[in-house]
Structures are given as C-alpha cells and as structure tokens.
Amino acid sequence: MWRLSVRSVRHHFPLFLGTFVALVLGVALIAVSSAALGATFGVSQPTTGRAAVTLPDGEGHAHTVTDGGIDLGGIQTVLVLAGVICLFVTVFVISGTCALSIALRRRELGLLRLVGAGSSQVRRMVIGECLAVAVPAAAVGCLLAVLTTPLALAGLNGTGLAPVDLKDASLAVPLVIASGAGLLMALLGAVAASRRAARLHATEALREADLDARTMTGGRWTMGLILLAAGALMVGLAPGTNAEGATPLALFGTLALTLAASLLGPLYLTPLTRLLALALRRTRSVPAQLAVASLSTARLRTASLTGPVLAIVAVVGIFTSVLSTTGATVKADDQRRTAGQLIVEPVGEDGLAPKTLTALRADSRVTAVSAPASMGVAVADRTSVRQDRGAAVDLPAFARTHRVDVVEGRIKELATGEIAVSREYAGWYGYHVGTRITYGLYGQKAATGKVVAIIEAGATLSQVLLPPARAGAHRPERATVLLDGASASQTDDVALDLANRLGSGQVTVTPTTQWFDTTTDEQGRLNTLVLVVLAGPASLYALVSVASTLVMSYSRRGREIVGMRLIGVAEEQVRRVAVWETLITTAMAAGVAAVVVALGLGAYRASLAAGYDTVAVSVPWGALSLLVLACLGVGAAVGLTATGRLLRRDGVAAINVRD
C-alpha cells in the first residue's frame, strides 16, 4: 500500500497541497518560537554585584535568594503564547485539510472498495499518503526555520520587548520538537481521516455523486460535543474567579469553543447559508444564488473553507481583546484612583532626589505628596522563599493623593516592624491583619513584620508596603501631587511654575490627565508590538492556508465549473460565483468567530468587574478588520485564478477528463 500511497500523492498533488503547506509553515513557526524561547533561557545572568538575602521558611530551612537578575518573564510569556497560537492554528488547519482531501475523493475511494480493497488497506493507504506528504514537509519546514530564525531574533530584538538582545542559540532541540510535533499532528489527522475513508462503501460513494449525505460522523459528533461542553464549562467558570484565574479559562475556553464550532460546522453552516440567501434574494443576482446553492450542497467543503478563517479570527480576536481589555481596565482604574492633579518625574533614570521631594512638600500650594520608592523584597512562605514587589511608602500621604479602599485594618503611618499588603496579595497567601511575615531586603538581614492594613489601591502600588524610612529602597520614579482648592483649577500654570522652581532640566511636571494620555500612547505602542509577535506569524500562516485549501477545493471542481458554462452561465458570472463563495464563507467564519470571542471576552469582563469598579472593554477592531479583509482578498484572488484556469478548458474534454 505504500507504493500506492506515493503514486496517489504524485498524481493528486493539488489535493495534498494544503496539508503540505500547512505542515511546512507549522513546523517552521513552532521551531522559530521554540528557538526564540530557548534564546531567552540562554541569557547569562550577572554573577557579580548582586545583593542576596537569606531567609528561613516556615519549617526552619534557610533559603538564599539574589536580586539584580534580568527579568525575562514578560518576553517568555509572549513567546509561549505565540507558540500556542501557532500550534493551535496548525492543528486546526491540518485536520481540516485531511478531512477535505477524503471528502473530495469519495469516488476514488469507492472504486478502490469496489475492486476489492479492504477497510484496513484503505486506512493504511490514507496514512501512507499522509506520511509521504509529512516527512518532506517537516524537512522543508526545518530548513525554513534555519533560514528565518536569525531574522526573527533580529526583529524581536528590534521591538524592545526583551530587556537584552537575544543571541542565536542551537537549533537542534527546537528542530526536533517542531518536526516531531508536525509529524505527530499529521499522523493524528491522517488516522482520523482514514477512519472516515475506511467506512465508505463502493455503492454509497458512487451513488452520492457530488452530494454530501453523511457529513457528521460519530467521531465528529463526539469530539465536537466534548469540546463544546469543555469550552462552555471554562467560559462559565471564568466570571467566578479573579483576573489571573479567568485569563486561562477565557482563552482556552474560547479555543475549545472554536474547535467545537469547526467540528460542528456542517450542522449550522448550511442553515446559515440559506439564511444569507434570503437576504441575497433582493439583489436578484444569479451568481449569488449559484454560490449559495453550491455551498449548501457541499457541506464538508464549506466547513473546510471556513475553518482557517474561523480559527485565525477567533484566536487573534480573543488573545488581543483580553490583552487590550486588561491594559485599558488597569489604566482606567489607575486614573480613577489618582486624586492628585500633578505627576512629577525625573528627567534622567536616577529617580527623584530627596531635595526635590522636600521642595515639593514645602510649596504652599501643595496639600500632599506621595512618592512610593520601589524595592525588591523576599518573603518567606511555609516551605519556600518568593521574590515579590515591595515599596517604601508614606501610607497616609498616599491615601490622600489616591483613592484607597481599606479591606482590613486602617490607614496609619507604618512604624518599624509594621507592613501593609494589597488585597490581591493577601488573598493569594491568606494574610490578615495581625499576621506576622518574615521578609528581607537584598543585602540586609531578615526581618519580621506585622500586617496592620490590607488595602486595595489598584496597580499603582506594590504588593508589600514598608515604612517610608526603610533603608534599601530606590529613589522614587515619580511623585503624585495633590493641590489645594484654589490651585486645583490652574494645573497647567502650577505645573509650569513648579517645573521652573524645581529645575526644568531636572524634573518634568505634568497634569495628571495629560500624563495618563501619554502613558496610554506608550502602552498602545507596546500592545501593538505584542500583537505583531503574537498574531503576525499565525495570521500569515492562516492566509497561506486559506489559499492552499482553496487550491485543493478547486482541483476537483472542473466538471462543476465547466458544467455551469455548458448550461448557459457566462464566464463573468462563473467568476462572480467564485467571489460570492469567498465572500459568504468569509462572512460566516467571521460571524461565528465574533460570537465565540464575545462569549470568552464577556466572561473575562465579568471576572474583571469583580475586582475593578470600571471595566474598559477594548477590542482591536482595526487589526481584526484588516485580518478579515486579508482573508477575503486572498480567497477571492485564488478563486478567480483557479476559476479562470478551469474556464480555459474545452467543455466536452473537461466533462470527460478524469479528476
């Protein structure tokens, strides 16, 4: 059967083009993501000049931790998410192309059964075809990864998302991982497709002609319902958790719903197509009616064509929307909590000097000044020591310049041996007022502090708050200034005067509203870079997959296209049919993706509403619209090209030619 599989791939290569391209790009993207992630682990941490602290845990065992390391957690998270997106889209596309290949070859497989081929032989032939495509595709994908990894690392370094430049690392492990994952995905897709092929009977395949009679197999029903239930469960649980717990539930719940929507597509795509037909009747367009009839008849082909668009729009939509909504909500909450009218920042990177803060507090127009000084702090747990964010803060002054919610205890000047913690931090580790915590600042001895207040102050404040006179804190990065009633209405003039008094070359004084607008622009730039890293490669992959899937589809539509010409449909109308098919499938895929993303984002918004008074839902409409238009443009271009090629055939010859 292996020889037959190889001959089948050679003879029907356009049918296997989608799987080949999907595997090549999937292996390349997974290898590049793995190589970039490996490069972050290869960054050497500084070995000298790092302060350390030794703390005993709850069981008395000593732990020594050091500060001053390079924090690569952010870029590693982005790369892991990018790899997850690429892997998801790869699985999605490969499973769709394998199923489409079988659906387009029912006659051929039926004839094999007619001449005596058994179910096991058909199954082995289909698996052999997949291996014949997957092995060279994995090799080409690895070669592509070797060529593009240096370019990808250079581009990633150019974004500034990594705190240090990432160097080229060994590609051996990433290539093994990527090629193994690609072959495994191809094999799993082939096994699923071979089961469907083995169940075909000769008479059934010959009798069905080009109609889809049994589109929902037992495996499709089972996996679709399982994924639907899992996705609904995760999305349903998200509103009852905090933001950290809701993020994976909303993301992976949406991914499960997307897979379920793809598997169950033959159930609802045909009614949805006919519903669109009702709206298209007013156009009195013959090509539109023909497109609707074609899509309604070939339900498996329609599901395969909508699959890549559905996958990429849903995946990019939920990841970017959750990212944007989180940033917008945190920014809105910080702005709402900031009562001070001015923000003072140093011009350099040395922080605000003590004399600057003294001069600010001495100004007659200033009512209060808060300037938390950040520091690294190690906190002992029952069996370990963790590294957290700390700050030396004048708590009463901060409560005047910001709106603070007191959960337990009260706002007071922190004395030696007293600490305050955030509500989120207390919830994570079960702290309450009166709890004694062993902590240490780097380069100093261990200390014990009593929790005297648990507060909610948004993202502006660190998790562990220490007395303002605590040694070891860095200089404050900024100060928030609360003005008196007479000066509060003249913030621009007061800001200019304070800047001149403090030294325009030393500090900048900005009205709070203007400062938040400026930081929003910078955050938007970073979000755009993250969006490019997360969704850029996967989006290009999906566009190529859309094109290759259409090539597969049109490779078996010669008789259909020429048949339309023979019954009097004009060439221009046939081309319009191809455009209408692309428009309808893209619109349906985008619509289903919008519903799935809305469910996931709605659940995530509900979880944020439990912790924030104001939730700012943010959806990157521009990027998603461009992605949908790109899918539409690629689909229309491939459809017109393939239709034009088929129209150039002689009518009678095309009807008699074998597929």
Q: Closest Cα to residue 300, out of 358, 216, 241?
A: 216
Q: Mean pLDDT check: name the lowest of 95-99, 370-374, 448-452.
A: 95-99
Residue 203 is predicted with a pLDDT of 61
Three-state secondary structure along 380-399?
ECCCCEEEEEEEECCHHHHH
Give the angle subtended at the CA of 582 by the CAs of 10 and 259, to the nearest 5°: 75
pLDDT tens digits, 474-522:
788 899 999 998 888 889 999 999 989 888 788 899 999 898 888 766 6
Residue 526: is its pLDDT beyond 60?
A: yes
| Tokens coding 371 | 């300037």
pLDDT tens digits, 415-468:
988 999 998 889 888 899 999 999 988 888 888 999 999 998 877 778 899 998
pLDDT tens digits, 240-296:
887 778 888 999 999 999 989 988 888 888 888 888 777 777 777 888 888 888 888
Given a contact cutoff of 8 angstroms between Cβ atoms, the answer to whether 3 and 81 are in contact is: no
Answer yes or no: pTM beyond 0.75.
yes
Contacts (Cβ under 8 Å, ≥6 apart) of 127: 5, 187, 190, 191, 194
Under the banding of pLDDT at 50, 70 and 90, the label for residue 651 is low
DSSP secondary structure letters along 403-446: --EEEEE---PPPTTEEEEEHHHHHHHT--TT-EEEEEETTS-E
DSSP secondary structure letters along 31-99: HHHHHHHHHHHTPPPP-SS--EEEEE-TTS-EEEEE------HHHHHHHHHHHHHHHHHHHHHHHHHHH
The tally of CA atoms less than 13 A away on the side-chain side of residue 471 is 4
Residue 67: is its pLDDT beyond 90?
A: no
pLDDT tens digits, 299-330:
777 887 888 889 889 988 998 898 889 888 88
Q: For the chain, how far is it from start to end, CA to CA, in angstroms?
A: 21
Helix (H) or strand (E) holding 508: strand 507-511
Given a contact cutoff of 8 angstroms between Cβ atoms, the answer to whether 373 and 392 are in contact is: yes
DSSP secondary structure letters along 329-380: HHHHHHHHHB--SEEEEESSSS---HHHHHHHHHSTTEEEEE--EEEEEEEE
